[in-house]
Structure 1
């Protein structure tokens, strides 16, 4: 008596996790086991299809798998009546997803058979066994997930980098799981942070970065392809500006831990950027409109707790009363800071008078000039350090390109190194043309003396913009009742390479 042939599809899957999947679960071993089982069922008419349904490096937590999708199409066309798997967790690790698959198989009259677990969904006992086994499989998956989370948390507490995409300023060491500073990119990171503080706007900074041709990090993936290197988006720039990695920390959810890697930025500078981000509108990337023409908005700082003063107002009897209040005190309560709210009109008048008085007080002029000289010297020292690091990195890239060509390295790697070389040359050129020089004292004095004449002619909005150009910040000391002005060097002289407007 001739037996009708029953088409059998063999499905295999190997997980993406090399620690979970050992050689015993390789695709070839699974298929060999399944073929032997199908051969033992020849008396029932089973015939294995020649087509392979193998999902390599695909997680069992999802049903979106190329080979599984092809298998479903064969089932819909009626070309498969039995699906053989080596173990139940090869087709799914989730009970809910497995039940979804069995409903699909039942709807098309297809039986699912496991080689090592001795069951067949074609009968009621097999379905019961399947659900029991899958319950344990899902429980095991939950345990694995919990263990992975615990390991990640423990690694973060120790300050270790636990993987992911490399970020601008750092490379992942060849042995993996450790970060090392990329000297050339570290220079670029500092410049981006400084640029944001100068422009005080996410959108404006993104626009300027694109204008300069500055892009995000590029790296060579495991498959040899060059990845990344796109222009910054507003969200991407905000993520960079708030990344704790740059001050030597690592994070897990909302927790911050001290990292094992070296910091690129100092904490004080990083915190200054964070405060500026809070002051500005995060949604549109631009500074909130200064509709009340608050002269000291974004400039006034509390010396007691180092927090910025926030401009606000209250309305009484249809009249608005403007004032500045310490952000720390507003957010954390009166006990957190001793600085009282400051009437906006009084503190703005006091600062305006101090600005104007500088032009006619030789002692104050000397203090302002000494402050500017100190700022310039600090910036020039930092520039020279960056220039040295950029030259060393350029020499290193030159050597890597030469070695890669001698060893016939993949073309993608050589092109990646060439892009790094071009980037290094651009940075060196930019650093060479931005040398800081100490301004002539007579020019500073002349600018200060002209303030009293110009100030009355300014509109309220123009005074605000002028104050931001002239001042870096204004410190208020509640204990001593003192107001200290810190002048910005950009208000008195240009960076080398720029022309002074006549």
Structure 2
């Protein structure tokens, strides 16, 4: 809120104070500055601050030419980057004095207060507190003001530490302390006492499980986000589920939204403080609410997201259908896409690669129409597999302690970073606490590794998806279809054209599927063919 006086007030002559003239001299042009961190602070309400400042100006004969406010703005976290304060500082040539309720309303930091004093002194503008008897035009007055600012900063730090400690205690007790509600949960009254707690939101949890299943089934994040947006599913930041903080009226989902949601450890029921999980005394994350995902699913999900984050897999998600599947029959090299006259074609670049290495081969760069070849490979694939049901292979954990071992090792790594990188656990007491937590984690890892050595090996169970390969093909994007072809062992050999024509000469294509295709692709990619054959023989024996 900004108020200015009429043009006659602006036209008053500049009344610069001479050095040593007190700030209570009459005829000054004053700007009132009001700040409030939260509108619930009744003791320092904007009205009370403004009234006190106006009373001081009236008593000293100052003319109020502007009133600026920063409401619901923290003086500690925002520093000098406050809209109202910046408007005051931009008008210093028009002012003689800035009036505020208390020094802590002007600045919460000694550094910030000193910077404001430096800026105003350079422009010959005085500072006046409506409730503190300070003459800021004298050396003693400025020194006293800085002392008061130090205590204001100390009070702010003490309040912050007290509030942070109280919040951590409440979170350890399972209480909700405000802020953004994690997706998959909702706020309900605490059934065991005062305050509120978070419980699983069944509808949102169902959405999360659907997303996770699709990610593990190799669906792209872009496709999932588009489907959620089309389904009108509220996004995590939508105003229908967020009453405070940053909100949006759009229900649209983005890949960044999905990745942020799927990597949030609160899905495991962990309690987050300042962006990091609160730890128990043994160094492991504290879990005091019902988890939405189990540890095995979480680890599989993180592995899949990490795989996609690699540069090679980022390229894979936007790749052509037969990349890594189509090979040149002359030299065996992979074929890549290019566009000629608006049409996509596949071409062998083996000759180019060999030339870069100083070698020569007879291959001249076989090329073929992309759309026609892809249609032929699709027809062959659906003819062989289209009616078959899709079975998703799920690892049967049994007595698998590997996820717990991984979690404990991650906690140990975080503990070391806290001490050596972040500078925590200072002093003798801190060193003792670090040593105790470190010893407990090492003991837990050793115990879990011993259990893993004696555990029954994990198995793999086929879970029917209820869809045929044809149905799954139609619902998948390009990357998903390519994954289906790779899993089916697709390998395509493209021979040189022997005659010209508008239609594709099908005799140029040799489409191999199943184990034959996997062996051929392994050989073309320079992998261990015998290993592929051994895996096939073992599966045949088990069947």
What TM-score, normalized to structure 2?
Answer: 0.51
Alignment partner, residue 232 of structure 1: 254
Deviation at 1:227, TM superposition (A): 4.0
Alignment partner, residue 9 of structure 1: 31
Determine whether 1:108 maps to 2:123.
yes
User: Does structure 2 retain, via aligned residues, the 8 Å contact 1:305–1:337?
Assistant: no
Could you say if the C-alpha distance between residues 191 and 302 of structure 1 is closer, same or farther in structure 2, counting changes exceeding 3 Å?
closer
Deviation at 1:152, TM superposition (A): 2.3
Q: 1:300-339, CA deviations, whole angstroms, 9 ceiling, x for partnerless residues?
A: 999774539x9xxxxxxxxxxxxxxxxxxxxx79993698
Deviation at 1:182, TM superposition (A): 3.1
User: Does structure 2 retain, via aligned residues, the 8 Å contact 1:111–1:121?
Assistant: yes
Q: How many angstroms apart in 1 are the aligned matches of 2:254 and 2:542?
A: 32
Q: 1:75-131, CA deviations, whole angstroms, 9 ceiling, x for partnerless residues?
A: 1xx221011111110100000011110001101101101121100211111101111
Alignment partner, residue 251 of structure 1: 272
Describe how 1:242-321 pairs up with structure 2 within 5 A: 242-252=263-273, 253-255=276-278, 256-260=285-289, 262-277=290-305, 280-284=307-311, 286=313, 305-307=400-402
Could you say if the C-alpha distance between residues 91 and 463 of structure 1 is closer, same or farther in structure 2, counting changes exceeding 3 Å?
farther
Q: How many angstroms apart in 2 are the aligned matches of 1:113 and 1:484?
A: 89
Could you say if the C-alpha distance between residues 180 and 137 of structure 1 is closer, same or farther in structure 2, counting changes exceeding 3 Å?
same
Query: Secondary structure of 1:249's partner?
Result: coil
- Report the aligned-residue RMSD: 4.7
User: Does structure 2 retain, via aligned residues, the 8 Å contact 1:81–1:110?
Assistant: yes
Alignment partner, residue 209 of structure 1: 225
Out of 97-106 and 268-277, give the one that drifted further. Answer: 268-277
Could you say if the C-alpha distance between residues 486 and 247 of structure 1 is closer, same or farther in structure 2, counting changes exceeding 3 Å?
farther
User: Does structure 2 retain, via aligned residues, the 8 Å contact 1:197–1:273?
Assistant: yes
User: Does structure 1 retain, via aligned residues, the 8 Å contact 2:35–2:46?
Assistant: yes
Q: 1:385-417, CA deviations, whole angstroms, 9 ceiling, x for partnerless residues?
A: xxxxxxxxxxxxxxxxxxxxxxxxxxxxxxxxx
Could you say if the C-alpha distance between residues 34 and 58 of structure 1 is closer, same or farther in structure 2, counting changes exceeding 3 Å?
same
Alignment partner, residue 58 of structure 2: 39
Query: Secondary structure of 1:52's partner?
Result: strand
Q: How many angstroms apart in 1 are the aligned matches of 2:541 and 2:239?
A: 45
Could you say if the C-alpha distance between residues 206 and 39 of structure 1 is closer, same or farther in structure 2, counting changes exceeding 3 Å?
same
Alignment partner, residue 206 of structure 2: 187
Q: How many angstroms apart in 1 are the aligned matches of 2:36 and 2:452?
A: 63
Query: Secondary structure of 1:455's partner?
Result: helix
Query: Secondary structure of 2:80's partner?
Result: coil
Determine whether 1:81 maps to 2:96.
yes
Describe how 1:417-456 pairs up with structure 2 within 5 A: 454-456=514-516
Q: How many angstroms apart in 2 are the aligned matches of 1:173 and 1:229?
A: 24
Q: How many angstroms apart in 1 are the aligned matches of 2:540 and 2:120?
A: 78
Q: How many angstroms apart in 2 are the aligned matches of 1:338 and 1:29?
A: 67
Alignment partner, residue 518 of structure 2: 458
Alignment partner, residue 219 of structure 1: 239
Alignment partner, residue 409 of structure 1: none
Q: Pick one of 336, 339, 343 that aligns with 2:449.
A: 336
Alignment partner, residue 262 of structure 2: 241
Q: How many angstroms apart in 1 are the aligned matches of 2:308 and 2:54?
A: 63
Alignment partner, residue 356 of structure 1: none
Deviation at 1:189, TM superposition (A): 0.8
Deviation at 1:283, TM superposition (A): 4.7
Alignment partner, residue 185 of structure 2: 170
Could you say if the C-alpha distance between residues 228 and 130 of structure 1 is closer, same or farther in structure 2, counting changes exceeding 3 Å?
farther
Q: 1:146-200, CA deviations, whole angstroms, 9 ceiling, x for partnerless residues?
A: 112212221222223333323432333489853343333222111001111111x
Out of 139-148 and 168-177, give the one that drifted further. Answer: 168-177
Could you say if the C-alpha distance between residues 230 and 212 of structure 1 is closer, same or farther in structure 2, counting changes exceeding 3 Å?
closer
Q: How many angstroms apart in 2 are the aligned matches of 1:244 and 1:195?
A: 19
Could you say if the C-alpha distance between residues 196 and 135 of structure 1 is closer, same or farther in structure 2, counting changes exceeding 3 Å?
same
Q: How many angstroms apart in 2 are the aligned matches of 1:88 and 1:231?
A: 45
Alignment partner, residue 386 of structure 2: none
Query: Secondary structure of 1:257's partner?
Result: coil
User: Does structure 1 retain, via aligned residues, the 8 Å contact 2:174–2:197?
Assistant: no
Deviation at 1:463, TM superposition (A): 11
Q: How many angstroms apart in 2 are the aligned matches of 1:265 and 1:192?
A: 12
What TM-score, normalized to structure 1?
Answer: 0.55
Alignment partner, residue 422 of structure 2: none
Query: Secondary structure of 2:175's partner?
Result: coil
User: Where do 5+ consecutive residues of structure 1 fail to align?
Assistant: 292-297, 311-331, 341-366, 381-429, 435-446, 448-452, 465-481, 488-502
User: Where do 5+ consecutive residues of structure 2 fail to align?
Assistant: 1-24, 279-284, 317-323, 325-392, 407-444, 454-458, 476-487, 489-512, 525-537
Could you say if the C-alpha distance between residues 110 and 174 of structure 1 is closer, same or farther in structure 2, counting changes exceeding 3 Å?
farther
Q: How many angstroms apart in 2 are the aligned matches of 1:56 and 1:485?
A: 74
User: Does structure 2 retain, via aligned residues, the 8 Å contact 1:113–1:119?
Assistant: yes
Q: How many angstroms apart in 2 are the aligned matches of 1:117 and 1:26?
A: 17
Could you say if the C-alpha distance between residues 457 and 29 of structure 1 is closer, same or farther in structure 2, counting changes exceeding 3 Å?
closer
